[in-house]
Structure formats: structure tokens, C-alpha cells
Amino acid sequence: MATIYEERAKIFKALSDERRLRILELLQNGEKCTCTLTDEVNMPQSSLSYHMKILCEAGIVTGREDGKWTHYQISKQGSEKVLSLLKDTIAIDETNMSCNKCSNT
């Protein structure tokens, strides 16, 4: 079973590539077929599959098989998870702002 940090790292990895960010931007307007995405991001199908696998494994995107093509969309649960993770990661905990070792605040 993956730790919470491994799950978080998966999400940050998925968001750390400019091509994957472009794919997510395209999917904001709804479901897109592999054939459409390959044209819009100008990459071969094999490269797109690699990036989609990372996005799907992170839970940000889901895929639906339809014949030889896969249709992808942003997962509602995944997008909520990403927003929550970002909020939790950069939130400042003002209740514990001092250093116990050196007593600096």
C-alpha cells in the first residue's frame, strides 16, 4: 500500500511536465479522443500514451475505451484531490511557527 507521500508525489509528478499540463488544459473543455489529442499536442500516439498513463495513475484523468481509441477526461475526484493537495501543501500552520531547538519564532 502506497504511503500518503507516495500518492502526493504521483500527483506532483503528473503536474510537473509542460506537455501534461497542456493535455490537462485541452481536457478542461470536456472529453477528448486520443486521435484529437495527438493532433492538438503534436506528439506521436506512443508519447501521448506515456503521458496519459501518468495522468491516469495519478487519478487526475480517466480513460474510456471505444474501439481502437481511448477517450480521456479530467476526473472530478482527481481534480478535487489535486486542489486539496495543493492547498494542504502550501498552507501555513501559524500555530507552530517557532523552532523548538533554538527557540526562534
Please tell me the number of Cα atoms within 13 Å of 76 on its side-chain side. Answer: 0
CATH of the domain at 63: 1.10.10.10
Domain count, the chain: 1
Domain span at residue 40 reads 4-79
Q: For residue 42, tell me if it sits in a domain.
A: yes
By C-alpha distance, which of 71, 88, 90 is closest to 27?
A: 71
Q: For residue 47, tell me if it sits in a domain.
A: yes
Q: For residue 99, tell me if it sits in a domain.
A: no
Q: What is the pLDDT along the chain (105 residues), one digit of tens a residue?
A: 778 889 889 999 999 999 999 999 999 999 999 999 999 999 999 999 999 999 999 999 999 999 989 999 999 998 898 888 888 887 766 666 666 677 665
Mention every residue, 6+ apart, whose C-beta is less than 8 A from residue 67. Answer: none
Q: What is the pTM of this model?
A: 0.82
